[in-house]
C-alpha cells in the first residue's frame, strides 16, 4: 500500500490517537494536532503527511476547542470527511468504544468487529 492509499485520521491528542488506534482493523495514519494549531504548523502537517492527496478524516472533540479546530481544518482540507461523536460524550477519549467504532465504520473505516 502506497502512502497515498493510506487513510489519515486527524485527532486532537495522544489519548484520542490511542483510543482510535485500538479500534482499527486497517492501516490508518493517525495525526495528533495537540489542540488548536497555527496556520504554519497546519500547513506543515498537510505537507509532511501529503494530506492534499489522501483520504483525510477529522475526528475532534465536541467542545469549543474541538469545534474551532474542526473549522480551521475544514478551511485547509476541504476534501476531508468529518466524523462526529455524540455531543453528550464531549470528548473522543470519553466516548465508549462501541459508539466510536460505529462513528468510524459509518465513514468506511474498518474496525475490529469485537468493538461493534
DSSP string, 4-40: GGSEEEEESSHHHHHHHHHHBSS-EEEEE--SS--HH
- For the stretch 14-58, pLDDT in tens is 999 999 999 999 999 999 999 878 999 999 999 999 999 999 999
Domain at 3-107: CATH architecture = 3-Layer(aba) Sandwich (3.40)
Residue 40 buriedness (CB in 10 A; 0-12 / 13-18 / 19+)? exposed
Q: What pTM does this model have? A: 0.95
CB 110 within 8 A of CB 26: yes
- For the stretch 59-97, pLDDT in tens is 999 999 999 999 999 999 999 999 999 999 999 999 999
Q: Which residue ranges make up each domain of the chain?
A: 3-107
Amino acid at each position: 500500500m502506497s502512502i497515498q492509499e493510506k487513510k489519515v485520521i486527524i485527532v486532537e491528542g495522544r489519548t484520542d490517537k490511542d483510543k482510535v488506534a485500538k479500534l482499527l482493523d486497517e492501516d490508518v495514519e493517525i495525526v495528533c494536532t495537540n489542540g488548536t494549531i497555527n496556520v504554519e504548523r497546519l500547513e506543515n502537517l498537510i505537507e509532511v503527511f501529503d494530506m492534499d492527496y489522501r483520504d483525510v478524516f477529522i475526528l475532534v472533540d465536541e467542545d469549543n476547542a474541538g469545534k474551532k479546530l474542526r473549522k480551521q481544518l475544514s478551511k485547509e482540507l476541504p476534501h476531508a470527511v468529518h466524523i462526529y461523536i455524540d455531543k453528550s460524550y464531549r470528548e473522543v477519549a470519553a466516548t465508549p468504544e462501541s459508539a466510536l467504532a460505529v462513528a468510524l465504520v459509518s465513514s468506511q473505516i474498518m474496525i475490529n468487529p469485537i468493538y461493534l
